[in-house]
Amino acid sequence: MNRRVSSFVASRRVTHDQTAPKKTRKRPKPETDENASTALTKHPEPRGVGLGQEVLENLKRFPHCILLTRVGKFYESYFHPANEVARLLNIKLAHRKSKDGSSIPFCGFPLQHIDKYLKVLVQQQRRFVALCEEFPRYGPLGVVGFDRRVARVVTPGTLIDESFLNQYENNYLLAISQDANAVGLAWIDVSTGEFYSKPATYDVLRDELARIGPREIVLDKELELQKPEKLEHILAEEMHCVSYITPSAEEEDNMQTEPPATPVDEVTEEASFPPVLSEFTQQEKMAINLLTTYLHANLLEYMPKLSRPAREGTSPRMQIDSHTIKALEIRESIREGGVKGSLLSVVKRTSTSSGTRLLARWLCSPSTSIPEINARQALVAFFHARDHFRSDLIAALTSAEDAGRIVQRFLLGRGDPSDLHAVNSAIQVWTALKARIAQERKQEILEAQQPFEDTQWASLDALMARMHDLQELSQRIGAALRATDTSKDSSPAVESDDAEDQDPLVPETPKPLWKLGSNNWVIKPEFSEKLTSLHATLDELLSRREQLQADLQLRYDAPSLTLRSSPAHGMHIHLLRAKRDRSKLDQTAEFVSIAESGSTKCYFFQEWAQLGGQIVETTITLVAAEKEAFESLRMDVNGHASQLRRNARILDELDVTLAFANLAKEMNFVQPVLTEDPVYDVVNGRHPTVELGLLTGGRMFTPNSVQLAPRLQIITGPNMAGKSTLLRQTALIAVLAQTGSFVPADSAHIGIVDKLFSRVGAKDDLFHDRSTFMVEMLETAEILQRATARSLVIMDEVGRGTTVKDGLAIAFSTVHHLVSVNRCRALFATHFHEVTDMLGYSASNTGQGIFEDVGFFCTDLDETDDGHFAYSYRIRPGVNRDSHGLKVAQLAGMPPTAIAVAQDALAWLKSRKEENPEELNSLGQKLSYFCTQR
């Protein structure tokens, strides 16, 4: 593919930026590039020869980015972007005066702060940052100059290994292609290499976005002007960061024919992937092309070789709509705004960061394949029954490295010796786990009182059989690296006689590459003959240096004499106490004075100059040889990337299933039974999040049994009596069951849920000009349009946001549609007890109404003679016609006088003639009849 990055111009759009600071002062008028160019032509450049021109050229190449240019130990911004950088980062804006009095704005910060400021610019402010790095050119005594070029553009979706990257979450970049009817999705986590694609429709696009949770979305640049209404509406819903790019004309460039780098669930049989890219749908191919084009344009020198994306959709998944993921607080808490208080935080018992990422994905997209669910459950049950074995495996996992992200760093051209050690450590953990599993199996065979049953081990055997043996790679890494060296820089340390405080915006003086006698070598000398020979040569030269220094000190009676090197003086002799030790040296012609201060003095000495030159030459050769050896090890890792990723994914599944087993032990969860029949029968179910919160406070949770036969149940009762908790726990139990976890109940028999919907806890959306009632109706409409006979729906207080009569009409019509059209399993909580009358409920007919598939249940409270009351939190058959709203108002602390007035008003309202239940029943029957005739 002809990718001319220099001609690339991408634009981006941030739909809404809540984190942007308010304008509290007038910003200085930015200078244009043309004015800046004129200033630099007439006057000295910002710093160093050629730097100004390099900055201007990069600003033209990346006009959509904030340009940060590395200069020595600082990243700096010049010209008009400097005003914005200084404002966003709250750092000082400086100006460099030119000869004619004009000034060039600039600002900067030390290298060690780059991650902190990238977090502000990229994650919080959603700016794109072009990082212009400096690449040194070496001479005989060290660095003689720098080449500067933009090595990478950092965007919200292309983070690699920044310290602020959340290790427990995926950082997805998602590309969307679309036409009038179909949508193609392709998404990748650049930090792990996990690459997926999927065909979709507009109906489910919002849900896919909620499930994937992309940090950045890429669209075709043509759509920036076209602004298709459907797509615009969906993307504006969650204020996604959106970027645009023109796709490449060649779709399959840079795509390997090997299997995808992202394995799908290994517990079951491997999914079948399209053998070649051409077998993806046209929309998928367009999305993949958009994504890869965008990666090339931004990763630049860090662009990895991409494998084919894993095709999602080969394994069926429960669809959880975007409202439900938020309302059920599956991934994050609504109140806290973070993971704390969410289902993920409550069930998390994983030992690794990559295992936690997999757990989050499973919770947001549970399986609908019974064989897959049963295979996961079999593993959980297997570990659940073996406490000591489970503890041993978890202990081993705690030392496991995040191999997926480490391998990706190598594929992106990064990685260092510490990462090689981490790869070696990961392989050793995998080997230890396999050995411990084999030991446990052998022990069980020896202890078996009856013929050993392999069936219990079937799922674990299937999982471990797919793990690759990488001992050879581990041995090669172990034989190559020094065990104690995890240095980030393979180059030796630096010594300089000219150390002094530097202007923070002035480049350092080039320094030599080496520090005599204290080199931090990474690779063992015995790794290769070349390294062995070079180390032997260097050791001999250093020994000669030490001997020469000792001889000179003794011969010339100069204890403070040392042999040194500096950019200013080259190889020289240094006297720390010149007044005391200089006399004999000054009398000898071989020592040529080259510098002197109040207490020190430097000499040129031919013998040391020659010997020092040999040491420098050997050291530089050795540095190059080490880099060559390290690169060969990097290539070894890259060559085993697919096997390393496969093993890492298997370890993640092992981690999650072990975590589920621990969770079941700690919280007394039971193994559910999954079936294709449309049933839901849970005995004494509990809400996992609420239960943990109560237990933390020393209180017990009151369980409830739910049997959705009939399929739809009307739940009435007082405020604060647990109706919403019951609805949510019903949905969460289904999610956990289909994830493969045990569930909080005494027993559970659940039919597969294909789609999960909720309409609970609506609030207004002022940004999109939607009232609370409008949000409620949008959610209700989506459920009625999309729910199937295999779906599970929970709805709370439908119609409460408008007048009583309007709300009652909407509530009845919703129930009617769920029963007669959707025919799904549903819980419908309401304070409109008139709905139960319209549905034909009466105590005399044991709860049977006009629909056979509608049942009636309620919550209650217990009152005492002295006016006190307590919620029972248990549901029972029947209808509760008293919401006890005044009791909740009293609990909330309303003034007694206000409560008294409310009680009088309520008594008067109740004394009025109410609608006749028989008339409401007749109305309901007529409406139902008319609907069936239409």
Q: Would the pLDDT of 273 be above 50?
A: no
* DSSP assignment letter at 386: -
Query: Where exactly are the structural domains of the chain?
Result: 30-154, 172-315, 370-470+640-667, 525-637, 673-933
Distance CA 316, CA 560 (A): 77
Closest CA to 353 of 286, 404, 429: 404
Can you name the residues that pair with 242 across neighbouring β-strands?
13, 217
Q: What is the mean pLDDT of the chain?
A: 82
pTM over 0.85: no
Mean pLDDT of 605-614: 92
Q: Taking the CA of residue 151 as centre, how many other CA atoms within 13 Å lie in the half-sphere pointing to its CB?
A: 13
* Mean pLDDT confidence for 652-679: 96
- Is the model's pLDDT at 53 over the cut of 90? no
- % of the chain with per-residue pLDDT over 90: 46
pLDDT: which is higher, 769 or 875: 875
For 23, 86, 247, 368, the CA distances from 173, given in Å and listed in that order, are 31, 28, 15, 26
What is the spatial distance between Cα 834 and Cα 827, in angstroms, rounded to a whole number?
17
pLDDT band for position 453 (50/70/90)?
Answer: low
Using CA atoms, how far apart are residues 314 and 862, in angstroms rounded to an integer? 52
- Alpha-carbon distance of 681 to 675, in angstroms, equals 11
Domain 370-470+640-667 identical in fold to domain 525-637: yes
> Out of 334-343, 593-602, 914-923, which region has the weakest mean confidence (pLDDT)?
914-923
Cα 562 from Cα 601, distance rounded (Å): 11
261, 345, 378, 398, 399 from 352: Cα distances, Å: 20, 14, 21, 7, 8
Question: pLDDT tens, 610-650?
Answer: 999 898 888 888 888 988 999 999 999 999 999 999 999 99
Say whether domain 30-154 belongs to CATH 3.40.1170.10: yes
Q: What ranges in 851-895 are assigned the alpha helix state H?
A: 885-892
Query: Strand pairing partners for 320?
Result: 756
Query: What is the tens place of the pLDDT at every residue in 723-754?
Result: 899 999 999 999 999 999 999 999 999 999 99
- Can you give the pLDDT at residue 734? 97
Q: According to the model, what pLDDT value does residue 715 have?
A: 92
* Between 920 and 202, residue with greater pLDDT: 202
pLDDT exceeds 70 at position 489: no
| 3-state DSSP assignment of residue 546 | helix
**pLDDT given at position 452:** 63
34 pLDDT more than 80: no
How far is 150 from 68, CA to CA, in rounded Å? 9
pLDDT for the residue numbered 445 = 83
Label the pairing between strands 94-97 and 103-110.
antiparallel
Q: Which of 753, 801, 802, 810 is nearest to 781 (CA)?
A: 810
- What's residue 568's pLDDT? 82
Range of weakest confidence among 1-15, 68-82, 610-624: 1-15
Interval 554-572 mean pLDDT: 89
Output 12 or 873, whichever has higher pLDDT: 873
- Give the model's pLDDT for residue 850: 77
What fold characterizes domain 673-933? Rossmann fold (3.40.50)
Pick the CATH number of 172-315 from 3.30.420.110, 3.20.20.140, 1.10.3470.10, 1.10.357.10: 3.30.420.110
pLDDT at 195: 92
CATH number of 525-637: 1.10.1420.10
Domain 370-470+640-667, classified CATH 3.40.190.10, yes or no: no
For residues 828 and 713, the answer to whether their CB atoms sit within 8 Å is yes
Residues linked to residue 216 through DSSP beta bridges, in sequence order: 173
Rounded to an integer, the average pLDDT of 199-228 is: 89
Taking Cα atoms as reference points, which of 297, 251, 243 lies closest to residue 13?
Answer: 243
CB 578 within 8 A of CB 602: no
Q: Please say if the pLDDT value at position 506 is more than 50.
A: no
Which residue did the predictor score with more confidence, 223 or 918? Answer: 223
The pLDDT of residue 369 is above 90: yes
Rounded Cα–Cα distance for residues 667 and 383 (Å): 15
Give the H/E segment covering residue 773.
Answer: helix 772-786
Higher-pLDDT residue of 40 and 552 is 552
Give the pLDDT score at 350: 95
Q: Residue 263: pLDDT band by 50, 70, 90 thresholds?
A: low
Q: How confident is the model at residue 269 (pLDDT cuts 50, 70, 90)?
A: very low
Which of the four pLDDT bands, split at 50, 70 and 90, describes residue 255? low
